[in-house]
């Protein structure tokens, strides 16, 4: 197994980030510094990162219903809670992508760096659906603009699937993951988001999972996420 893959599967980081870590000389195999991510290793080898043993752990993927004002990071240096605090697991879990502190809904946490990278990489365009409530009523023309794509400061957004729910609410599905993208798209048509909830990530639906609750995904659900990441 490639050393970078071993680190990723051990929950250290994504495959790409693991390659950077190895290249910086922080990893030793049987006491020797290794800087080649392709270096072959086996389960049972003495592999250490910054002097600490790296051992493979069972891969876990959790779904969390993130409350408002919870931070989408593994660690929060301030007073606000981090999303990883919502999961009762000894595994080294990391958020798969981000969700704004003022947004709620479906987040994934995992120690599988390769899956996390696939699900968030722009190349694969894994879809995410958000339920949006706006400050003012939103017209059909505005919704059509969102479907067609709007001009943002970092380029035009890709076409989106939009379904009206009410005079000031709709669901929008996008395959991009730009910073605060849905909020900026709504601002581009002259309105403002007052509530934003992610209700799906690829084939996974939030369903009835309570706010602040988490559950471990089963093998079939994880397999579908891998398919989402392959198919885009």
**Cα–Cα distance measured from residue 29 to residue 194, given in angstroms and rounded to the nearest whole number:** 51
Instruction: Tell me the domain boundaries of the chain.
Output: 3-53, 61-122+204-231, 128-201
Could you list the active site residues? 100
Alpha carbons 84 and 108: distance in angstroms, whole number? 10
Backbone torsion region of residue 222, taken as left when φ is above 0, otherwise alpha when ψ lies between -120 and 50, otherwise beta: alpha
Cβ neighbours for 36, distance < 8 A, ≥ 6 positions apart: 3, 22
Query: For the chain, give me the number of helices (H) and strands (E)?
Result: 6, 15
The DSSP code sequence of 186-201 is: HHHTT--EEEEEEEEE
pLDDT tens digits for 52-70? 998 877 889 999 999 999 9
Q: CA 48, CA 148: separation in Å to the nearest integer?
A: 50
pLDDT for res 76: 56
pTM (predicted TM-score): 0.79
Q: Pick 128-201's CATH classification: 3.40.50.300, 3.40.30.10, 3.40.980.10, 3.30.70.1560.
A: 3.30.70.1560
Q: Which CATH number fits domain 61-122+204-231: 3.40.50.150, 3.50.50.60, 3.30.70.580, 3.40.50.720?
A: 3.30.70.580
The pair of structure tokens assigned to 193 is: 């988001």
Better-predicted residue by pLDDT, 4 or 183: 183
**Helix pair angle (113-120, 219-231), 10° resolution:** 40
Residue keyed to tokens 């690829």 = 202
pLDDT (tens digit per residue) in 171-216: 999 999 888 999 999 999 999 999 999 999 999 999 999 999 999 9
Task: State whether CATH 2.60.40.650 applies to domain 3-53.
Answer: no
> Pairing state of beta strands 47-49 and 27-29?
antiparallel
């Amino acid at each position: 197994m490639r050393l970078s893959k071993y680190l990723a599967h051990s929950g250290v980081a994504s495959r790409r980030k693991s390659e950077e870590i190895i290249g910086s000389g922080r990893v030793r195999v049987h006491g020797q510094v290794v800087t080649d991510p392709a270096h072959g290793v086996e389960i049972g080898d003495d592999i250490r990162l910054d002097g600490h043993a790296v051992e493979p752990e069972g891969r876990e993927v959790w779904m969390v219903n993130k409350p408002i004002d919870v931070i989408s990071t593994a660690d929060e240096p301030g007073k606000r809670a981090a999303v990883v605090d919502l999961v009762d697991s000894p595994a080294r879990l990391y958020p798969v992508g981000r969700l704004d502190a003022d947004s709620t809904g479906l987040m994934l946490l995992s120690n599988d760096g390769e899956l996390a990278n696939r699900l968030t990489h722009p190349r694969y365009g894994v879809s995410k659906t958000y339920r949006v409530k706006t400050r003012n009523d939103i017209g059909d023309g505005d919704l059509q603009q969102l479907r067609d794509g709007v001009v943002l400061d970092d380029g035009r957004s890709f076409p989106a699937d939009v379904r009206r729910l009410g005079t000031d609410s709709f669901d929008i599905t996008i395959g991009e993951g730009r910073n605060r993208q849905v909020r900026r798209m709504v601002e581009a048509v002259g309105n403002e988001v007052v509530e934003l909830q992610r209700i799906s990530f690829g084939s996974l639906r939030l369903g009835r999972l309570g706010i602040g609750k988490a559950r471990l995904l089963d093998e079939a659900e994880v397999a579908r996420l891998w398919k989402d990441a392959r198919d885009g």
